[in-house]
Amino acid sequence: MVRRSSTETFERIDHIKKEITLVQADLLDQLSIVRIMAEHSPDEVYNLAAQSFVPASWAQPVLTGEFDAIGVTKMLEAIRLVDKDIKFYQASSSEMFGKVREVPQTENTPFYPRSPYGVAKVYGHWITVNYRESFDIHASSGILFNHESPRRGLEFVTRKITDGVARIKLGMAKQLALGNLDSKRDWGFAGDYVKAMWLMLQQDKPGDYVICAGKTHSVEEFVSYAFNHVGLNYKDYVVTDPRFVRPAEVDLLIGDPSLAKKELGWEPSVSFEELVAMMVDADLKGLTDAK
């Protein structure tokens, strides 16, 4: 499902575009969602649609709520009206833990979101649980920690770093301006996490699962690995810029993936070091090919 717009932005799905059918609908338009569910009779629906950039959620908190909170209800309502056997996946987020109540975070850790994005995602999570319990819908919520890949948008720190490292290595940039280097995240490879989403919908029973690597690294470590990978020292290139520092930060986000391992048989296959190397190599290749 895609939103109509005058300019197409499908480069992240170019490699599979021939194998899929794109249909138009909009999370802001309830009837459009009902209509595509009725026309296409899906077996499974994965709701990955969101305003997903945390800093933008302070600039557009109401719109973030429309998409990330009420949008989930619209999806679930469409399922309830059209066919209650459609299985549903909701993309919940570790941002829901925010000012964390315990370390590591599990499926039972109370939420304490620290951004309008996190607040909206908490609503999305609970409405998914509520439709599962109220209407017996196979609705699952995946509480995914940060998942990255070469397709990550350039505004996110991992891709910003790997793109910056590649540009510096190729002589196209001289420095890299970042915000808080002490922030820590539990980062994993997006491809592994998508497998977990799919596994949730293959189970007899729906549920809520924390999906993460279970290891935390600082932004500084990410930067250091990325520069090392191309034989450079980050201290020669990284500067801090207050524009990238946030009004409120989440605390130590680190998840416990044991339930997913036990019930879904899921484990990540790409390590932190492999992920950093994969992203730097992809940016080096992309920029070199474009030259």
Alpha carbon of residue 105 to chain centroid: 17
Output the CA torsion sign for 259, 263, 264, 269.
positive
Annotation marks residue 93 as catalytic: yes
**What gap in Å lies between CA 162 and CA 230, rounded to an integer?**
10
**Smallest Cα–Cα separation from 247: which of 98, 64, 142?**
98
Q: How many residues bind ligand GDP (CB under 6 A)?
A: 16
* Site track 129-158 with ligand GDP (rule: CB under 6 A), x = hit: -----------------x--------xxxx
Query: Which residue, 34 or 161, is less far from ligand GDP as judged by CB?
Result: 161
Q: Which residue has the tokens 């026309």?
A: 39
Q: How far is the CB of 157 from ligand GDP (least distance, A)?
A: 4
* Site track 24-63 with ligand GDP (rule: CB under 6 A), x = hit: ------------------------------x---------
Neighbour count for residue 213 (Cβ, 10 Å): 25
Query: Which residue, 82 or 178, is less far from ligand GDP as judged by CB?
Result: 178
Among positions 176-205, residues that touch ligand GDP (CB under 6 A) are 178-180, 183, 185
Among positions 211-250, residues that touch ligand GDP (CB under 6 A) are 219, 244, 246, 249
Which one of the listed residues 52, 89, 94, 95 is annotated catalytic?
95
Largest CA distance in the chain: 59
Which one of the listed residues 117, 123, 225, 237 is annotated catalytic?
117
Which one of the listed residues 93, 94, 140, 183 is annotated catalytic?
93
Annotation marks residue 107 as catalytic: no
Query: With contact defined as beta carbons under 8 Å apart, do 53 and 59 qualify?
Result: no
Neighbour count for residue 223 (Cβ, 10 Å): 25
Alpha helices by DSSP H, listed for the chain, are 30-40, 54-59, 61-65, 71-82, 116-135, 157-169, 190-201, 219-229, 258-259, 272-290
Q: How far is the CB of 34 from ligand GDP (least distance, A)?
A: 31
Neighbour count for residue 111 (Cβ, 10 Å): 20
In the list 160, 169, 217, 229, the residue contacting ligand GDP (rule: CB under 6 A) is 160
Q: How far is the CB of 169 from ligand GDP (least distance, A)?
A: 19
Annotation marks residue 95 as catalytic: yes
**What gap in Å lies between CA 212 and CA 189, rounded to an integer?**
9
Residue type, 251: D
Q: How far is the CB of 77 from ligand GDP (least distance, A)?
A: 28
Q: How far is the CB of 52 from ligand GDP (least distance, A)?
A: 7
**Residues binding ligand GDP (CB under 6 A):** 54, 146, 155-158, 160, 178-180, 183, 185, 219, 244, 246, 249
Q: Which residues are catalytic?
A: 93, 95, 117
